[in-house]
Chain A
Amino acid sequence: MSAQRKQGTQLPSAPTGRGPMGMRRGPMGGMHRMMAGDKARDFRGTMARLLKYMSPYRVQLVIVLVFAAASTVFAIVGPKILGRATTKLFEGVMGQIAGLAGGGGAGIDLAYIGHIILQMIGLYLVSTLFGYIQGWVMSGVSMNLTYRMRKDIAAKISRMPLRFFDGTNHGEVLSHVTNDVDTVSHTLNQSLTQVVTSVTMVIGVIVMMLSINLVMTLVALCVIPLSAVIIGLVIGKSQRYFKEQQDYLGHVNGHVEEMYGGHVVMRAFNGEEKSVAQFDKYNDTLYTSAWKSQFLSGMMFPIMGLVGNLGYVTVCIIGGYLAVKGTITVGDIQAFIQYVRSLNQPIGQFANISNILQQTAAAAERVFEFLTQPEEAPEAAKPVLLPKVHGNIEFRNVRFGYSPDKIVINDFSATVKPGQKIAIVGPTGAGKTTMVKLLMRFYDVTGGAILVESHDIRELARHDLRQAFGMVLQDTWLFNGTIMENIRYGRPEATDAEVIAAAKAARVHHFVRTLPGGYNMVLNEESSNVSQGQMQLLTIARAILANPQVLILDEATSSVDTHTEVLIQQAMDNLMKGRTSFVIAHRLSTIRNADLILVMNDGDIVEQGTHQELLARKGFYAELYNSQFEAA
């Protein structure tokens, strides 16, 4: 029975690239799927959308349904025909006895039985073939749909405004790509055919049972509601403990994560006892709810077994009685036993299916919701062709907020001339990085305008605008690939020599040479021999290679030691001679030679001028600058 449940069409224990609660589809997996209470807000609407999404596979789906039903029907007819063989055998035996006792009488008609068996072999072969065809086509459909869904999500991500991701954590989006899509595909792969076969099975079996005997059918069918009621009761009861178990598992895991993560602090403050006491409290509660939920859910199988056996015994008693009366044959009893047993299973599945469908709808709903999120503001209908960018940039009364009620930039105006080095300074939260994001048009201004070479950047194609700008951020982003590939990301057509030249300019060439594999070393999350500072240097090399007309450095060297920073600064100044650059820095020493320093505080420019001018003014900047030398 458990083998049937597995159905084989999905992975026996799902690869778990998921969180701690990731579903494992072991034999007990079905249980957990059943217990999770994940519901869609709009079940019907979502299902309708899902069906629409599946419409390209109309033909295949019809084939699947037909073959699944046919395969089941063939399998259902089996026991009754087989029963006839048994009956014949039984009659033969009775005849034989009579014959022996009385001399004469008919023997066993082996030819007839052989004939039936051949018939059955044919039937089962067809059923198997149909079953396999169904599975083959269905896996094709579900895998194709999975592929399409993932592709749509990925494409969607690239079209969405950055704004969306401010309020959503990456884990959530990731879980759409893996878990949600997986749930949908799993349902398609397994549950859809399961629904079809279960329904066919129940109807077919009832028809077959009726064709044998009405009374026995009625009695056997009394068992169904019984099992449904019992299963309902058990699930209802265990759900509570399952939820409790999940909650406390969460508490325990949370505590473990927190304590291991803060191990140093915990030890430094002698917090071991406190931590263990807290853990034991959670752990003991978890134990109670764990065994209760396990026990209750474990009762399902024995109860299903008992109900199955009840049916079996009833069939034996009533069947035996009726056989004596001559109403039915021995083969009928045998067929009936098989039918009653085969009813057990789809009923167990029915209890499951509504839950699975609910979960699927919930997963699909999340995916569709994501796919219908608003996308980036469309490009201007007729984008202005950007002339050669010299570096004339104007911020005209720029006003911006990540959300309408929280304005970050109030009224920002500044004019930048070609070849200038502009520094933006100010305390954390002053809105420095926001200016960069607006300039690159990751966000659109709420009020005012940004002009590049006298064109409002909203009139330009994003591609053209960004082509002209190079950007280095504090958070280094390098992808899983070789160092060479990562630097070349700035300009895919660059030669190896150009890449190396860029690396030299970024003062990272020597370091790369010391790495195993040099430029061919693959960077990944475990590349612990590449420090944060060195990664920053690589991103600088990437920007240098892109050779942009305007360069933006946002805390680009914050993790680089001060000595190297000075060297890079010189290289940059060389490189950007005659080009415009924006520098955001925490360490004020790095921006002393800027042509224009914009001092921001609370979303406004509070002062602007050169280093000397600003110091002389003895205002906000001077205070900020001097504070770093204050002695304790």
Chain B
Amino acid sequence: MTRLLKYLKPFTLLILLAIALLFVQAMADLSLPDYMSKIVNNGIQQGGVESAVPSAIRQSEMDRLALFMSPDDRAQVLAAYTLVNTDSPDYGRDVTIYPALANEPVYVLNDTGRAKTDALNPIMGKTLLVVSGIEQMMADPAKAAAFAQGSGLDISKLPPGSDVFAMLRRMPEAQRAQLTAAVDTKFAALGESMVVQMAAPAVRAEYAALGMDTDSLQSRYIFRTGLTMLALALLAAACAVAVGFLSAKTAAGLARDLRRHVFRRVESFSGAEFDKFSTASLITRSTNDVTQMQMVVIMLVRMVFYAPIIGIGGVIRALGKSTSMWWIIALAVTVLVGLVITVFSVTLPRFRLIQTLIDRLNLVTREQLSGMMVIRAFNRQDLELNRFDKANSDLTGIMLFVNRIMVVMMPVMMLIMNGLMLTIIWVGAHQVAASRMQVGDMMAFMQYAMQIVMAFLMLSIMFIILPRASVSAGRIADVLETEPAIVDPREPKQFAEPFTGTIEFRDVCFRYPGAEEDVLHSISFTARPRQTTGIIGATGSGKSTLVSLIPRFYDVTGGTIFVDGLDIRSVTQHDLRGRIGYVPQKSTLFSGTIESNLRYADEAATSETLERAAAVSQASEFIATKPEGLAAEIAQGGANVSGGQKQRLSIARALVKQAPIYVFDDSFSALDFKTDAALRRALKETTGRSTVLIVTQRISTIKNAEQIVVLEEGRVVGQGTHHELMASCETYRSIALSQLSKEELA
């Protein structure tokens, strides 16, 4: 994977932007449960009251609260509020909000910001609790009695109707401080959050006393929080869409670049590299593997980057809600990841096995189809069905096993998730009971837990997918990092004009890369212009290899090939090949029309040239039978023309080039003898001034050549004309005699 990193470079900005957006998305996603917890905690439980610091307090109430504050606290609190009365400039505005202002002065909270208000929370919380507690006791003697047992302060003993606060006010400061300290220690045990929760009803009561509509206050709070959530949800979605855009651009762009680089690289490969990779594999690498990379990059951006962000963010958020329950998440993640790893470590090796078995099934089926005639001829249908059945049941057996392991995943995963929820509720309930947590927080914790677990799940699945993708990446990198064996010289020489086309092999040796032995051993001969040089030999004698050295499809491994006196390695490949009309053994046509195929040799060829080439190659006749003539469609690979027609068009294509050198590599094999003869006759007239090399197995094809080179196991065993060779070369004679009778050879 890392070997392809440099191809991602142009997309760095896009990726960074995507990651930034993923952060925003994660933050938005993660804050949703927090807001939900606020709705439950503040909105429902606390009646829309967020903190123990009321936005306004009646002066009389504030006086009572002040009784339980230390002087420092008192100063701090009073500084945060402004006393508003009928004379105040803001009276008009404030009286509509707090109708009680009409009756008595009201302290209104200054707009000093969240931090300041939060600092007042504990002070206001506990004093509110104390005051409201006393107020309740004054109203309800039973409560007072209960309280008296715990604190020793029995208000019920006071004469009914007497004002406790007035009494307290009369108390000396020091005694009051003592009382306050006692209350402080009691509340310290509860914790700040609980104090705020408990003070909320008192705040609500104060708002009611101020004449405010507490119900609408509550629903307004819920609604406001909800709207914030909505905005966050929209933000998250917008980010996700933007990330989708960026990842799509990156992935498709990378795929485009990789394809382009791979294609260019392969185009520059010589036969050696094609042999090394095999054509089929190169095709897969340029197509499938690249598409695979496109998928991976999309997943990489959308999932691999996102999972850790949401995972870590989730952990931070969850810990913010409760530090003592992290072990539940850790446990769930461990079990879940353990499950995924176990299931996949059992099944993954078997996936490879399944692949081989599928290949096997395909192979047997393909054999059954391709060998249909032979199978029936030998009456072996039952044997084939048994072979198929074996492959089929092997595959079915292992698939069933793997499937049954895989079906464990889903139900068990759900069980783990649900177990996680239950555990959180159970443990959370105890936390709530001990007043260490609020219900809404517990609910939020559950959602965070889910998000964290999901993130880990995503990651663990990615770790299973990524290694496979990296195989594709490696295969692509292999191609990109392969330097073509044949490159143009730094300072190419030019052929002298006029170009004659003399080809000289001087002690040429050749060995295929990786082979143990040379295919060609010190070959020396010269092919001259206006002459036909025949190359004959048994299959595997190295004929085709020999001629493929001329256009430099391979480079010689020993000796030199000269064309017009220049080492072919000293000129550009383009220049060299521009002078050679080559007809390969396997005739290949490209999709298009007959004309486009002929013109492949020379875009600028006149229509007379095309027609003449077609006539010489004996292709005119069948072209004429096509209603579209030269414009007739050719399917990919020339699938819609017969082998003989393909070969004729392939010859015509080379002729269009009007090259000084022609190489025919066993190019007449698919033609019947009649056509073969006619073609050669016509060929002799057109290529008269060129150097012609013909590789063949048929004696008749080269019987009249000016020079015949006989190859046997990569060595030249004879050189001369037909008659000379008949007399001197044993190999040649044996080939000739197996094809023609003595009389015919005479």
Q: CA A151 – CA B259 in complex, angstroms? A: 40
Cβ of A572 under 8 Å from chain B: no
Q: CA A82 – CA B359 in complex, angstroms? A: 50
Contact B222 A321 (CB under 8 A): yes
Q: CA A146 – CA B394 in complex, angstroms? A: 12
Contact B354 A11 (CB under 8 A): yes
CB-contact partner of B393 in A124, A142, A147, A561, under 8 A: A147
Given contacts A143-B400, A306-B233, A589-B738, 8 further A-B contacts (CB under 8 A): A100-B190, A291-B251, A299-B244, A314-B226, A428-B642, A473-B374, A480-B367, A539-B374
CB-contact partner of B425 in A82, A258, A333, A623, under 8 A: A82
Bin chain A's interface residue count. Answer: 35 or more
Cβ of A382 under 8 Å from chain B: no
Cβ of A275 under 8 Å from chain B: yes
- Closest Cβ of chain A to B394, distance in Å, is 10
Interface stretch of the complex, out of A52-60, A356-364, A387-395, A562-570: A562-570
Question: Residues of B contacting A240 with CB < 8 Å?
Answer: none
Cβ of B112 under 8 Å from chain A: no
- Closest Cβ of chain A to B743, distance in Å, is 10
Q: CA A299 – CA B589 in complex, angstroms? A: 43
Interface centre among B225, B268, B403 (most CB of A within 10 A): B403
CB-contact partner of A157 in B150, B369, B408, B454, under 8 A: B369
Contact B355 A317 (CB under 8 A): no
- Closest Cβ of chain B to A139, distance in Å, is 4
CB-contact partner of B249 in A86, A268, A291, A586, under 8 A: A291
Question: Residues of A contacting B700 with CB < 8 Å?
Answer: 628-631
Q: A27-B465, A276-B267 are in contact. Are A291 and B248 (CB under 8 A)?
A: yes
Contact B735 A15 (CB under 8 A): no
Q: CA A298 – CA B295 in complex, angstroms? A: 11
Contact B429 A110 (CB under 8 A): yes
In the complex formed, the residue of A with least CB distance to B453 is A3
In the complex formed, the residue of A with least CB distance to B428 is A89
Question: Residues of A contacting B388 with CB < 8 Å?
Answer: 150-151, 154
Q: CA A16 – CA B197 in complex, angstroms? A: 61
Interface stretch of the complex, out of B70-78, B88-96, B572-580, B623-631: B572-580
Interface stretch of the complex, out of A128-136, A208-216, A501-509, A574-582: A128-136
Question: Residues of B contacting A628 with CB < 8 Å?
Answer: 673, 676-677, 698, 700
- 15 of the cross-chain contacts (CB-CB < 8 Å) are A16-B355, A124-B415, A129-B411, A170-B369, A174-B366, A262-B590, A268-B584, A291-B253, A305-B240, A467-B379, A531-B539, A589-B741, A627-B676, A629-B740, A631-B700
Q: A8-B407, A320-B44 are in contact. Are A263 and B365 (CB under 8 A)?
A: no
Contact A623 B439 (CB under 8 A): no
Of all A-B residue pairs in the complex, the 4 with the closest CB atoms, nearest first, are A135-B407, A302-B240, A632-B680, A8-B409
Q: CA A117 – CA B418 in complex, angstroms? A: 11
Q: A263-B274, A298-B298, A466-B378 are in contact. Are A177 and B226 (CB under 8 A)?
A: no
Contacting B at CB under 8 A, from A267-298, are: 267-272, 275-276, 279-280, 283-284, 286-287, 290-292, 294-295, 298
Interface centre among B229, B383, B430 (most CB of A within 10 A): B229
Cβ of A374 under 8 Å from chain B: no
Question: Residues of B contacting A316 with CB < 8 Å?
Answer: 35-36, 39, 222, 225-226, 229
Cβ of B175 under 8 Å from chain A: no
Contact B588 A264 (CB under 8 A): yes
Q: CA A581 – CA B341 in complex, angstroms? A: 65
Q: CA A462 – CA B402 in complex, angstroms? A: 43
Contact A562 B697 (CB under 8 A): yes
Cβ of A78 under 8 Å from chain B: yes
Interface stretch of the complex, out of A33-41, A91-99, A219-227, A416-424: A91-99
Cβ of A121 under 8 Å from chain B: yes
Cβ of B636 under 8 Å from chain A: yes
Contact A268 B385 (CB under 8 A): no
Cβ of B286 under 8 Å from chain A: yes
Q: CA A280 – CA B259 in complex, angstroms? A: 9
Q: A94-B45, A427-B672, A628-B677 are in contact. Are A442 and B233 (CB under 8 A)?
A: no
Contacting A at CB under 8 A, from B484-527, are: none
Q: CA A566 – CA B740 in complex, angstroms? A: 11
Contact A631 B39 (CB under 8 A): no
Cβ of B551 under 8 Å from chain A: yes
**Residues 388-414 of chain B, each 1 if its beta carbon lies under 8 Å from chain A, else 0:** 110011001001101110111111111
Question: Residues of B contacting A462 with CB < 8 Å?
Answer: 376
- Closest Cβ of chain A to B434, distance in Å, is 9
Q: CA A13 – CA B738 in complex, angstroms? A: 57
Question: Residues of B contacting A306 with CB < 8 Å?
Answer: 233-234, 236-237
**Residues 593-632 of chain A, each 1 if its beta carbon lies under 8 Å from chain B, else 0:** 0000000000000000000000000000001110111111
Contact A147 B392 (CB under 8 A): yes
**Residues 1-14 of chain A, each 1 if its beta carbon lies under 8 Å from chain B, else 0:** 11110011111110
Question: Residues of A contacting B389 with CB < 8 Å?
Answer: 151, 154
Q: A262-B590, A269-B657, A305-B237 are in contact. Are A102 and B143 (CB under 8 A)?
A: yes
Q: CA A2 – CA B458 in complex, angstroms? A: 8
Q: CA A467 – CA B376 in complex, angstroms? A: 10
CB-contact partner of B443 in A4, A272, A334, A479, under 8 A: A334
- Closest Cβ of chain B to A492, distance in Å, is 7
In the complex formed, the residue of B with least CB distance to A98 is B201
- Closest Cβ of chain A to B281, distance in Å, is 10
